[in-house]
C-alpha cells in the first residue's frame, strides 16, 4: 500500500508538525506500508520527504492585506495543483494539518479516485474566510470524485461538524489519536513517582508552546505580573508558524519587560526540538494550560499529552476538552476563570498535595501515551480504507 503524507506547515524539526508527521510515518511503516512525505518547497528540512508543495502559509499573518490575499490565492492554487498531480499515484493521502479554509478549499477542488484523509485538529477556524470559502468548499466536496474523510481527536457530533466546517456529503471519524513523540525507554525508566515530585526550591510553573491568545497567554502574563518572586516561571515565548495574531505582540512585549524586572521569570525565545521540549517539561512542576473553552471545547492539546507522561500536573479551564481529561484522570486543577488570584489558588492547591496530583498525572500519561501513537492512527485509517475497498 502506498501512502502520501502531506504537511503544508512543516518548516523545521521543531513543534508538533514534525512530531505528527514523523510518528504517523513510523506508524504506517510499522504496518508494512510504503510512505512518501511531501512538505513545502521552502522548508528548512533537507532530508525528510519531497519538497513539492509550492507555497506555505507560514509567516503570512504579518503581511499587508493585498499581498496576504495574493499569497493565500497562490497557496490554494499551488496546493490544489500539487494534490491533483501527485496523489493519483497513491492508494491514500493523509493531510496531517487541515485547520484552515485554504487547505480545505484546495482539497475540495481535487478530482481523483484516491481517498483524502484530512486531519482537523481544531473545530473553530477563521469566521471571516468562512463567509467566502465555505460555500465553495461545500459545493466542491459534494461534486468530488474521491472519498473525503475528516479525522478529529475529540468526540465531535455530526451536527456540530456540519455547522462549523461543512454540510457536504463527507465522512467523519472522531476520537482518533493525536500522535505524540514517544518517550524513550531510558526516559520511561527514569520517570518514577518519587522523581516526579519537585522540591520546593525547584518548583517551576511553565507555559509551553507558541504564543496564542486562545491558549490563555494574556492570563499567563497577568499571573506573572501579580506573583511575588517565590513563584518561579519558565515561559516559552515564540510566534506561531503563521506569525503573531493581532494583539499578541503587545503581551509578548509586556512579558519581556516583566522578565527584565523580575528574577523569577525565565523566557525560552526559540522553538524546541522534541527532546528539548520533553526535557523542559521534565524540569517543570506545573504546566499552565489556561486555554479558552471557546476555542478548545472540541480540541485536544498536544502540550497536555506531553505533560502527563512526565507526571506533571496541569491547570486547565472548565469547559475545555482539557478539563474533560482532568475530570476523567485527575492530575490537575480545573479553574472557573483565569484571574491571577484564581490561578494562584490552584497552584497552591497542587503544591500542598503535589505527590497526589503527580501520581494521577503519571497514571493518566501512561494511558494517553499508549493510545496517541502514529501506529494507532494508521490502523484506524487503514481499517476505514479497507472497509471502503471492500464496499462495506
89 and 168 in a single domain? The answer is: yes
What per-residue confidence (pLDDT) applies to 229? 86
Contacts of 36 (CB under 8 A, 6+ apart): 2, 3, 4, 5, 49, 50, 90
How far, in Å, are 35, 216, 249, 298 from residue 222 at the CA level?
A: 46, 10, 15, 26
How far, in Å, are 66, 76, 254, 265, 392 from residue 232 at the CA level?
A: 44, 45, 17, 6, 57
Q: Domain residues for 240?
A: 185-371
292 and 223 in a single domain? The answer is: yes
Q: Which range, 50-64, 118-132, 326-340, has the best average confidence (pLDDT)?
A: 326-340
Dmax over CA atoms of the chain, in Å, equals: 65
How far, in Å, are 101, 124, 159, 373 from residue 104 at the CA level?
A: 5, 13, 19, 25
322 and 191 in a single domain? The answer is: yes
201 and 154 in a single domain? The answer is: no
83 and 24 in a single domain? The answer is: yes
156 and 197 in a single domain? The answer is: no
Strand order through the sheet with 265-268: 265-268, 232-236, 204-207, 286-289, 314-317, 332-335
280 and 210 in a single domain? The answer is: yes
Q: How many domains does the chain fold into?
A: 2
93 and 14 in a single domain? The answer is: yes
384 and 237 in a single domain? The answer is: no
Using an 8 Å Cβ cutoff, are 312 and 284 in contact?
yes
Q: Is the pLDDT of residue 336 over 90?
A: yes
How far is 311 from 331, CA to CA, in rounded Å? 8
How far is 86 from 48, CA to CA, in rounded Å? 17
Rounded to two decimals, what is the model's pTM? 0.86
301 and 338 in a single domain? The answer is: yes
105 and 191 in a single domain? The answer is: no
Summary mean pLDDT of the chain: 89
Across 96-125, average pLDDT: 90
What per-residue confidence (pLDDT) applies to 191? 60
Contacts of 129 (CB under 8 A, 6+ apart): 100, 101, 102
| CATH number of domain containing 246 | 3.40.50.2000
State pLDDT tens for residues 189-233: 566 544 444 444 579 999 999 999 999 999 999 999 999 888 999
Using an 8 Å Cβ cutoff, are 274 and 240 in contact?
no
The SS3 assignment for 302 reads: helix
22 and 140 in a single domain? The answer is: yes
Amino acid at each position: 500500500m502506498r501512502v502520501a503524507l502531506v504537511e503544508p506547515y512543516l518548516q523545521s524539526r521543531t513543534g508538533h508538525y514534525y512530531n505528527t508527521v514523523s510518528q504517523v510515518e513510523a506508524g504506517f511503516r510499522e504496518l508494512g506500508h510504503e510512505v512518501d512525505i511531501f512538505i513545502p518547497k521552502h522548508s528548512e528540512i533537507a532530508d525528510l520527504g519531497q519538497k513539492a508543495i509550492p507555497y506555505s502559509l507560514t509567516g503570512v499573518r504579518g503581511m499587508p492585506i493585498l499581498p496576504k490575499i495574493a499569497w493565500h490565492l497562490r497557496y490554494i492554487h499551488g496546493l490544489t495543483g500539487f494534490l491533483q498531480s501527485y496523489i493519483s499515484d497513491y492508494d491514500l493521502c493523509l493531510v496531517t494539518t487541515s485547520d484552515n479554509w485554504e487547505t480545505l478549499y484546495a482539497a475540495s477542488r481535487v478530482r481523483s479516485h484516491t481517498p483524502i484523509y484530512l486531519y482537523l485538529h481544531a473545530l473553530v477556524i477563521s469566521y471571516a474566510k468562512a463567509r467566502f470559502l465555505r460555500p465553495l468548499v461545500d459545493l466542491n466536496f459534494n461534486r468530488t470524485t474521491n472519498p473525503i474523510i475528516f479525522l478529529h481527536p475529540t468526540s465531535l457530533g455530526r451536527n456540530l461538524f456540519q455547522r462549523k466546517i461543512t454540510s457536504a456529503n463527507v465522512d467523519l471519524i472522531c476520537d482518533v489519536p493525536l500522535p505524540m513523540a514517544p518517550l524513550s525507554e531510558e526516559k520511561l525508566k527514569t520517570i518514577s513517582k518519587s522523581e516526579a515530585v519537585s522540591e520546593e526550591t525547584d518548583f517551576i510553573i511553565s507555559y509551553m508552546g507558541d504564543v496564542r491568545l486562545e491558549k490563555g497567554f494574556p492570563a499567563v502574563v497577568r499571573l506573572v505580573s501579580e506573583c511575588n518572586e517565590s513563584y518561579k516561571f519558565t515561559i516559552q515565548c515564540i510566534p506561531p508558524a503563521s506569525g503573531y495574531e493581532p494583539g499578541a505582540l503587545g503581551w509578548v512585549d509586556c512579558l519581556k519587560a516583566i522578565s527584565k524586572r523580575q528574577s523569577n521569570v525565565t523566557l525560552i525565545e526559540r522553538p524546541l526540538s522534541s527532546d528539548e521540549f520533553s526535557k523542559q517539561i521534565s524540569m517543570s512542576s506545573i504546566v499552565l494550560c489556561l486555554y479558552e473553552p471557546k476555542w478548545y471545547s472540541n480540541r485536544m492539546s498536544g502540550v497536555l499529552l506531553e505533560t502527563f507522561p512526565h507526571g506533571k500536573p496541569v491547570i486547565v479551564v472548565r469547559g475545555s476538552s482539557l478539563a474533560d481529561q482532568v475530570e476523567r484522570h485527575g492530575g490537575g486543577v480545573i479553574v472557573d476563570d483565569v484571574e491571577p488570584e484564581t490561578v494562584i489558588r490552584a497552584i497552591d492547591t497542587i503544591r500542598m498535595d503535589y505527590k497526589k496530583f503527580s501520581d494521577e498525572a503519571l497514571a493518566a500519561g501512561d494511558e494517553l501515551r499508549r493510545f496517541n501513537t502514529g501506529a494507532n492512527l494508521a490502523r484506524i485509517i487503514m481499517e476505514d480504507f479497507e472497509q471502503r475497498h471492500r464496499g462495506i
